[in-house]
Amino acid sequence: MPAPPTAPAAGTAATPGAGAPGGRRRIGTWAVALAFWAVTAGTTVPTPLYPLYERAFGFSPLVVTVAFAVYALAVVAGLLALGGLSDRYGRRPVAAAALLTALAAAVVFLLAENLAALLVGRVLSGLAAALITGTATAHLAELAPADGRFRAGRLALAANMGGLACGPLLAAVLADTTDWPLRAVWVAAAALLTAALAALAVAPETVTPRERGTGSVARAPRVPTALRREFRHAALAAGAGFAVLGVLTAVTGLFLTEVAHLHDLLATAATVSLAFACTGTGQLLAARLGRAALPAACAGLIVAAGLIAAAVAASSLLPLLGAALTVGLATGVAVGHGIALIGARTAPGTRSRTVSAFFAALYTMLALPAVGVGALIGAVGLRTATTVFAAAVAALAAAVLLTQREPARR
């Protein structure tokens, strides 16, 4: 499941590399990127495996969506409660803690024999994602030379979204090619995390003892009054996209097996990976679109909802792939627009708390609709539940599109 595509690690303005030589900074940059990639890849590894877990442990689609929601809520809790941890204790120790937490999650999944273990693993994955996101994003920026901050931001985005996209593919390939479909991938994930932990040792610390904060590590969300209307529009649009990403992640495997009659783990992985990869691309597009970013994102979400409904009606993978591509781009554009809006309209002292509020809203919308769809599947079936969800997303996107234009008409 997605970690925040970009997240703040506000606070200190550390000296890049804390005086480390350029060669060590460059090696450290790739070590931090590897850590970021490895943690986020682990969060999406279960995606194509959910149908296998359902059969192995005998639970319903509702339980799958609850497991997904547990992860998302753990990310929210971690971002809000631990968002300032690396400002207090340094980037490298907190990144190491994230890797160890992700490694613990992999071990729990490796040994899992029941639903309770899966839920514990998802909580640990969510906390690891919350710890690594802001920490690694800040660490990469601080390791970059003065003229390389933009490239560092792109590297952070690539590591984050690349990990999210690679996790399902790794799981599907190993599940299809080994005799241990629910075990082999977690051995591989644990090995990657261990390698990343060892590599992190070469990364220079960028927060010196004198620069470390003394305040609370929590990030209490706050939205300035003057920004609330525009913030609400951006959060609703990006949140609608997150809701679709959440449902895609939780029920694509079920859709392909029960509706499209396609028993292919790689197809599930490819669909979800495409959505995540396009989310990263959409964030890069947001700056180019400028004021057109939010309308474009809303229009994209409406198109994606239509493609989801078409996939259900035709029992076909092709429109679902189109929906994954479209919703990924639209969500990325909406998230990029929201972050740019906050960056331009908030003071540095309150910016981190506003971004925390933004992602808290997004991850709430990631979690709760997925559970609602899971419950609806149990009541009315997968086809009807998915169609109702697509209509709700289209209606929300259309409402944002119409209401955000009201000031222009006046």
Model confidence at 408: pLDDT above 50: no
Average pLDDT score over residue span 287-308: 94
Average pLDDT score over residue span 11-30: 65
Average pLDDT score over residue span 222-251: 92
The CA distances from residue 299 to 135, 173, 237, 344, 381, in Å, are 33, 34, 10, 24, 28
Which residues contact residue 92 at a Cβ distance below 8 angstroms, ignoring those fewer than 6 apart?
A: 139, 200, 203, 205
pLDDT top residue among 107 and 20? 107
In the 8-state DSSP scheme, what is residue 410? -
Structure tokens at 272: 């979800």
Which residues contact residue 267 at a Cβ distance below 8 angstroms, ignoring those fewer than 6 apart?
A: 256, 317
Domains and CATH numbers, the chain: 19-207 (1.20.1250.20), 223-410 (1.20.1250.20)
Chain segment 326-380, per-residue pLDDT in tens: 999 999 999 999 998 988 888 866 777 788 889 889 989 988 898 899 899 989 9
Q: How many CB atoms are located within 10 Å of the residue 179 CB? A: 6
- CA pair distance 216, 322, nearest whole angstrom: 44
- CA pair distance 312, 322, nearest whole angstrom: 13
- CA pair distance 34, 335, nearest whole angstrom: 24
Residue (of 91, 86, 334, 205) closest to 78 by Cα position: 86
Output the pTM of the full model: 0.87
Model confidence at 410: pLDDT above 50: no
Average pLDDT score over residue span 15-29: 69
- CA atoms within 13 Å, Cβ hemisphere of 304: 33
Q: How many CB atoms are located within 10 Å of the residue 402 CB? A: 10
Chain segment 42-80, per-residue pLDDT in tens: 999 999 999 899 889 988 888 888 888 899 899 989 988
SS3 90: coil
Model confidence at 84: pLDDT above 60: yes
**Lowest-confidence pick of 3-12, 225-234, 302-311:** 3-12
**pLDDT band with cut points at 50, 70 and 90 for residue 409:** very low
pLDDT score at 92: 94
Question: Hey, CA dihedral for 328, 329, 331, 336, is it positive or negative?
Answer: positive
Considering the chain, what is the average pLDDT of its residues?
88
**pLDDT band with cut points at 50, 70 and 90 for residue 391:** very high
Residues of the chain above pLDDT 90, percent: 59
Rounded to 5°, angle at Cα 362 from 136 and 293: 90
pLDDT top residue among 370 and 324? 324
Rounded (10°) angle between helices 91-111 and 22-44: 30
Model confidence at 215: pLDDT above 70: no
pLDDT score at 4: 57
Chain segment 176-204, per-residue pLDDT in tens: 999 999 999 999 999 999 999 999 999 99
Average pLDDT score over residue span 230-239: 94
DSSP secondary structure string, 6-64? Answer: S----S--PPGGGG--HHHHHHHHHHHHHHHHHHHHHHHTTGGGHHHHHHHHT--HHHH
